[in-house]
Amino acid sequence: MSIFQKIAVVMLILSTGILVWYHFDGDSKTLTINPEKYQYYATDDRKVGGISDSVLVQTNNKPTIKCDLKQGNYAWPYCEAAIHLSDSMFEGIDLSDYSKLVLDIDYKNSDPNGRLRVYLRNSNPAYTKRNDAASLKFNGIEYEPGFNTGPKEISLSDFQVLTWWIADYKVAVEHASPEFSNVSIIEIATASGVSEGHFEMTINSIELRGVWIKETTLLKTILGAWLVVIIAYVLYEQRALNKRLKASTYRESRLRKLNDTLKEKNVEFAELAHRDSLTGARNRNAVRDWLERMSQQVRWGKQTFSVIYIDIDFFKKVNDDLGHQTGDDILREFVLVITGAIKSTDFLVRWGGEEFIVFSPNNDLQQAEEKAELIRRTVEHHLWCHNERLTCSLGVAEMKDERITEVIARADDALFKAKNAGRNNVKTSSNIVNSSSNIHYMN
């Protein structure tokens, strides 16, 4: 086993282990807001001219806010628990990596709705003013805690910024959405518009839950590690190949350019399920749904659609004479050559082995035949990396009132005729075949 094979095995084990960990334990990041670490306070509307009265007591070693809500001069009486996460309202905790707020609160009240307001107050120099606690952003939500109902999860994505706060502080639109990067105070208050009465709020627990690392970041990191190994392997193979072929300076230059192009193309391989791992061309899965849509468009008479079936001539002999490594290099270069000869609206698919199909929308049989001839000439006159001539045979068919498997079968029949005619030529099929063809599409 080579060093790169060993590295690949280790990388596979590590990648699998990391993904399994992330699936079962990746969202276990927890921040507990408890009275032992953070300051809990009871506040009410007296500081704004109201006459409500609240006090913080301990009930079974749990902080409890007892509140007598009274209607006075202040129009919106309230009581609340204020939890300070730092000594300064300008310096809080970054909660942006957390996705859920889990509250276990027992709420006794005379309000039939029995709801509480929850605010995560965020500080930002763009809108927070010194000596003005109300300038802390009101990221808020209202929910029904119940009594002895256990923890309730609230997604941070459900929080909204209070519109009156945005209007009062003339907050710019780029700062009008919820923000949790510097939360300094958590407030849990009685609901708006509640009637007078006695209220008790026992805070059993407050937790924030999130992931240790974002899924996109994790996948990009794993993909990046694999790309590093792949690039290192490509460089290693390139050096070995250059040593064997140092007599041919031009070929060495061509291979270096080819490998540089392939390394750039590897960045695009995030969607591996839709790409051929060897050549980077699309595979059958990538065009399955698209072909169904194209066939519908043809049946409805909205557009033309043609198929060009391509096979590299005598490719088995190339593999036998020059080895599979060179054969793989040729297949990669073949994809680059064909891609340069077709339009961006065409779809090049590796159909299997050295067989490729170009699906060409908005092309009738004559246009597709001209395109096939252009491909044939381009392949024939291209200077290949193995310094030998390479040709291909092509079969062309335009889709009529038939299934996609049938038009592919007709293109395959035309390709068979092209090979029987001596290869390195283009043949067309204008007759519709029945569905009993032996082409097994998408298997």
Q: Is the pLDDT of residue 26 over 70?
A: no
Q: Quick check: 437 pLDDT over 50? A: no
Banded pLDDT at 27 (limits 50, 70, 90): low
Q: Provide the whole-model pTM.
A: 0.48
How does residue 252 score in pLDDT terms, banded at 50, 70 and 90? low
Grade residue 213 by pLDDT with cuts at 50, 70 and 90: confident
Question: How far, CA to CA in Å, does 324 sit from each of 2, 314, 350?
Answer: 18, 14, 17
Residues 39-48 have a mean pLDDT of 91
Q: What is the mean pLDDT of the chain?
A: 87
State yes or no: pLDDT of 180 exceeds 50.
yes
Lowest mean pLDDT across 111-115, 240-244, 410-414 = 111-115
Order the strands of the 305-312 sheet from edge to edge.
347-352, 355-361, 305-312, 392-398, 426-429
How does residue 251 score in pLDDT terms, banded at 50, 70 and 90?
A: low
Tens of pLDDT, residues 78-106: 999 999 999 888 899 999 989 999 999 99
Alpha-carbon distances, residue 304 vs 190, 292, 356, 398 (angstroms): 66, 14, 20, 8
Q: What percent of the chain has pLDDT over 70?
A: 90
- DSSP conformational letter for 303: -
CA distance 36 to 89: 19
What is the C-alpha separation between 236 and 55, in angstroms, rounded?
A: 72
Distances from the Cα of 443 to the Cαs of 113, 275, 300, 311, in angstroms?
59, 16, 27, 19
> What's the half-sphere exposure (Cβ side, CA atoms, 13 Å) at 118?
23
Q: What would the mean pLDDT of 242-259 be, rounded to a whole number?
A: 71
Q: Is the pLDDT of residue 161 over 60?
A: yes
Cα–Cα distance between 378 and 391 in angstroms, integer?
9
Report, at the CATH architecture level, how domain 271-429 is classified: 2-Layer Sandwich (3.30)
Q: Where are the domains of the chain?
A: 29-210, 271-429
The tens digit of pLDDT for each residue in 130-159 reads: 888 899 999 999 999 988 999 999 999 999
30 vs 110, more confident: 30
The predicted structure's pLDDT at residue 41: 94
pLDDT at 336 over 50: yes
Which CATH code, of 2.60.120.430, 3.40.50.300, 2.30.40.10, 2.130.10.10, is assigned to 29-210? Answer: 2.60.120.430
Low-confidence winner among 152-161, 211-220, 418-427 (lowest mean pLDDT)? 211-220
Helix (H) or strand (E) holding 44: strand 39-44
Whether residue 118 is predicted with pLDDT greater than 60 in this model: the reply is yes
Checking if the pLDDT of 274 tops 60, the result is yes
Residue 167 in this model has a pLDDT that exceeds 80: yes
3-state secondary structure of 121: strand
| Average pLDDT of the segment spanning 32-41 | 93
pLDDT at 116 > cutoff 60: yes
pLDDT in tens, 62-75: 999 999 989 888 88
- Yes or no: say if 328 and 278 are a contact pair by the CB < 8 Å rule: yes
- pLDDT, average across residues 389-402: 94
- Residue 329 tokens read as 């290099």
